[in-house]
Amino acid sequence: MANVKGAPKGARTPWQVTRSVWYAMFVREALSRTMGDRMGWFWMIFEPFALVAIMVGIRSFVGGGGRLITNAPFMPWMIIGMMGFFLVREGMIRGMGAIDGNKALFAYRQVQPIDPVLVRNFLEGALRSLVFLIFIGGGLMLGLDMYPDNAIRAIVAWLSLWSLGLGLGLVTSVAATLVPEVGIVIRMISLPLLIISGVILPLNSLPHWLLEYLMLNPIPHGLETLRLGFFENYKVVQGTSMLYMWLFTFTLISLGLLMHLRFVDKLKAK
């Protein structure tokens, strides 16, 4: 490979250095995430399975199954929504602890505070994608309708939710590091956010005046599109727009990048 013009012979380009940093951090995070606990893989699969089972049981008992869901079986509808929500939530929450968890690495000038946030989000998204595929395979073996009718739409919606989690993680990583109380508040609102995002109850059953406010939240737009990718005749919530979600996502990512650029010295000193 030819050397960059003006660079000393044998010197690595900034992109090569960045790739090396990301690879080393990815291996470090992956080993910590999957091998730090003997039952790491078990909990990674059992935790969402247990939450889905509990939510499905409560919803079936209280709501009588899927009578309020148009053209979509209740259990797959619930599983798909919860897996999509976990993807966003984990991107947001794990991004908050990325900087504090890698303080020692900032002694190397090649490592910037944004690096662990990006690496953690990629790793978490990859693991969540693997778990989702396991759920899809398990559901198909159990006879559930978990095969996507429009795989391209489902993949695009999944990647969109992944990107939304990245944007939230970039913003919260800076905010929670500079103001620790922010992290406490964000963790507290994660459960209400699950409820108002249409994960457990279909938002179509709510009054229109309330729905207008709830759809300001970008998460339902991604979840409804993801569900539509699995059930082509599914009636999505009125006002669902991937354009709105992507505008929101790009705004968060841009804001997060600007915050990291503006507060890089403070983040390293924390």
CA atoms within 13 A on the CB side of 238: 10
For residue 208, what pLDDT is reported? 84
Cβ neighbourhood burial of 124 (10 Å; 0-12, 13-18, 19+):
buried
The model carries a pTM of: 0.88
For residue 164, what pLDDT is reported? 96
Amino acid letter for position 207: P
The per-residue DSSP string of 179-242 comes to: SHHHHHHHHHHHHHHHHHTTSSS-GGGS-HHHHHHHTTSSHHHHHHHHHHHH-TT--PPTT--H
Cβ contact 222:83 at 8 Å:
no
Tokens 């990629």 found at: 122
For residue 156, what pLDDT is reported? 96
For residue 252, what pLDDT is reported? 96
The DSSP call for residue 64 is: -
What 3-state DSSP class applies to 109? Answer: coil
For residue 202, what pLDDT is reported? 84
Give Cα 129 distance to the centre of its chain: 10
Amino acid letter for position 34: T
Ordered alpha helix ranges (H), the chain: 14-35, 40-63, 74-96, 114-141, 151-178, 180-196, 208-214, 219-230, 242-262, 264-269
Distance separating alpha carbons of residues 86 and 130, to the nearest angstrom: 13
pLDDT, block means (10 residues), the chain with 270 residues: 50 82 88 70 74 72 60 86 92 88 84 92 92 90 89 96 96 92 89 87 84 92 95 90 96 96 86
